């Protein structure tokens, strides 16, 4: 006998999906969550702490609650007794602090019943059957959402075992002379961190980063923009996803002025190659592609799940067509769901997948 649903992954994407299912009326005993840490924000918290991140790149609706409103700006306005956060969010200038976001995660964890549903286990294999999907001996579930997070840190060739090198998302300090490889949000944060620590900084990059407020163009977060994306042919879609994965960080004085001052003082420069600094910080993000995730790679290899280059091919609702029908659902959320939602690794992307997963559960005749 299969049980209603399971979420494979206990990070922020899985947590957001859980909050959405709870908001849709499912009880904690109807949802099994499989993860390796009791705190859904633990991994994100460690990475944010490693790069000394203070503010979120996301805006007011960058939270884990099912409904977009009220967002974090409304909560901040109530707490501070100030309309400033509301005025900032009207012109897309409000960004919550990391502390505010993590407080929100802790509050939602307590009131959602997360701990009642969580099972501390890693799922390495999913076996489809008539009644749903068997999860590594932990039971059979009719509807399963896979939210595995990033498959691992990415290092440039030859640097993973270089004694001078550390990844930006690993704990580290700053030497007197630092080379930062990469040009995205983590790299830009590390430029400022190292300069504030008194270091001389070299930005090692092959091309200039894009400057945009969010990690993808804003129009992709709209219904019309997403509909246009869903109409693209596979080859075109791959090209778009590769282009949008190019490094970027926000425009504005908080970034530009410190770098300009440091450049004038000879403490910040740009280079295309490493040149012997005491320390190399690899701000190069994460490994890309379903082949780097053991669970997803097995789905592709063992169950004829279609993949195009780095991405598993999904239906617009983030479900896996080969293993989904009107009686069962296998869907993806988080970074591996970019085929359905290019910004899948954002909190808005997690909500997109979660809401459609909930609709499939509600429409299932065997629920």
Instruction: Report pLDDT digits (tens) over 238-250.
Output: 999 999 999 999 9
d(CA 255, CA 266): 17
Res 84: pLDDT: 67
Residue 276 sits in a domain of what CATH number? 3.50.50
Whether 226 is in a domain gets the answer: no
Find the mean pLDDT for residues 128-132. 91
Q: Is residue 52 part of a domain?
A: yes
What is the model's pLDDT at position 91?
Answer: 64
Q: Mark which of 235, 262, 282 sits at the end of a domain.
A: 282
Residues 350 and 269 occupy one common structural domain: no
Q: What percentage of the chain carries pLDDT values higher than 90?
A: 83
Domain coverage including residue 252: 165-209+247-282
pLDDT digits (tens, 9 = 90+) for 91-108: 677 778 999 999 999 999
What is the CA angle 17-22-26, rounded to 5? 115
Q: How many domains does the chain have?
A: 2
Residue ranges with strand state E in 53-199: 118-120, 126-129, 132-135, 140-146, 165-167, 177-181
Whether 109 maps to a domain, the answer reads yes
Indicate whether 116 and 196 sit together in one domain: no
For 92, list phi and psi in degrees, rounded to 5: 55, 40
Q: ω before 26 within 30° of 0 (cis)?
A: no
Residue 195 and residue 278 in one domain: yes
Is pLDDT at 2 greater than 70 in this prediction?
Answer: no
**Mean pLDDT on 165-188:** 97
- Domain end among 261, 282, 303: 282
- pLDDT confidence band for 90 (50 / 70 / 90): low
Tell me what pLDDT residue 87 has.
63
Q: Are residues 11 and 148 in the same domain?
A: yes
Q: Does residue 216 lie within any of the structural domains?
A: no
* Residues 142, 75 within the same domain: yes
Do 16 and 131 reside in the same domain of the chain? Answer: yes
**How crowded is residue 198: how many other Cβ atoms within 10 Å of its Cβ?**
9
Question: The domain spanning residue 98 has which CATH number?
Answer: 3.50.50.60
- Please, which residues bridge with residue 145 across strands? 7, 331
- The pTM (predicted TM-score) of the whole model is 0.93
Domain assignment of residue 214, yes or no:
no
Beta pairing partners, 200 = 177
Q: Which of 230, 263, 282 represents a domain boundary (last residue)? A: 282
Model confidence at 1, pLDDT cuts 50, 70, 90, reads very low
Residues 75 and 112 in one domain: yes
Quote the mean pLDDT of the chain.
93
129: which 2 tokens? 């059957």
Residues 274 and 297 placed together within one structural domain of the fold: no
Tens of pLDDT, residues 23-82: 999 999 999 999 999 999 999 999 999 999 998 888 767 789 888 777 777 776 777 777
Which pLDDT belongs to residue 28?
96
pLDDT at 3 over 90: no
Asked if the structure places residue 233 within a domain, the reply is no
- Indicate whether 199 belongs to any domain: yes
Query: Per-residue pLDDT tens for 154-176?
Result: 999 999 999 999 999 999 999 99
Q: Which residue has the higher pLDDT, 264 or 366?
A: 264
Mean pLDDT confidence for 138-142 = 96
Q: Are residues 115 and 182 in the same domain?
A: no
Domain for residue 215, yes or no? Answer: no
pLDDT at 68: 75
Residue 147 and residue 11 share a domain: yes
DSSP notation for 209-262: PEE-SSSS-GGGGSHHHHHHHHTS-HHHHHHHHHHHTS-EE--SHHHHHHHHHH
Task: Clarify whether residues 196 and 275 are in a common domain.
Answer: yes
Going by C-alpha positions, the residue among 3, 267, 241, 285 that lies closest to residue 138 is 3
More confident residue, 93 or 256: 256
Mean pLDDT confidence for 216-229: 92
Q: Are residues 202 and 341 in the same domain?
A: no
pLDDT at residue 86 above 70? no
Q: What is the pLDDT of residues 258-298, one digit of tens each?
A: 999 999 999 999 999 999 999 999 999 999 999 999 999 99
């Amino acid at each position: 006998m299969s049980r209603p649903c399971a979420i494979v992954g206990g990070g922020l994407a899985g947590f957001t999906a859980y909050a959405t299912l709870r908001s849709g009326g499912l009880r904690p005993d109807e949802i099994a969550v499989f993860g390796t840490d009791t705190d859904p924000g633990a991994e994100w918290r460690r990475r944010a702490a490693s790069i000394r991140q203070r503010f979120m790149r996301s805006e007011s609706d960058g939270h884990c609650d099912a409904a977009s409103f009220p967002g974090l700006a409304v909560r901040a306005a109530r707490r501070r007794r100030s309309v400033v956060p509301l005025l900032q969010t009207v012109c897309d200038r409000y960004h919550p602090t990391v502390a505010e976001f993590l407080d929100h995660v802790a509050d939602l964890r307590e009131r959602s019943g997360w701990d009642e549903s969580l099972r501390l286990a890693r799922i390495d294999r999913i076996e489809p059957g008539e009644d749903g999907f068997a999860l590594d001996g932990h039971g059979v579930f009719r509807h399963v959402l896979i939210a595995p997070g990033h498959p691992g840190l990415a290092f440039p060739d030859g640097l993973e075992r270089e004694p001078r090198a550390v990844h930006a998302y690993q704990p580290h300090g700053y030497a007197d002379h630092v080379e930062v490889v990469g040009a995205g949000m983590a790299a830009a944060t590390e430029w400022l961190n190292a300069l504030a620590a008194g270091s001389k900084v070299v930005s090692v990059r092959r091309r200039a980063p894009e400057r945009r407020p969010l990690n993808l163009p804003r129009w992709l977060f709209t219904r019309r923009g997403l509909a246009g994306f869903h109409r693209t042919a596979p080859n075109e879609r791959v090209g778009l996803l590769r282009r949008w994965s190019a490094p970027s960080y926000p425009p504005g004085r908080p970034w530009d002025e410190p770098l300009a001052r440091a450049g004038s003082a000879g403490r910040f420069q740009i280079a295309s190659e490493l040149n012997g600094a005491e320390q190399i910080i690899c701000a190069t993000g994460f490994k890309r592609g379903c082949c780097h995730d053991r669970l997803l790679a097995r789905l592709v290899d063992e169950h004829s799940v279609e993949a195009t280059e780095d991405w598993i091919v999904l239906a617009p609702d983030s479900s896996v067509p080969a293993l989904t029908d009107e009686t069962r659902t296998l869907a993806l959320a988080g970074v591996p769901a970019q085929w359905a939602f290019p910004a899948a690794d954002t909190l808005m992307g997690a909500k997109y997948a979660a809401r459609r997963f909930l609709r499939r559960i509600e429409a299932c005749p065997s629920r």
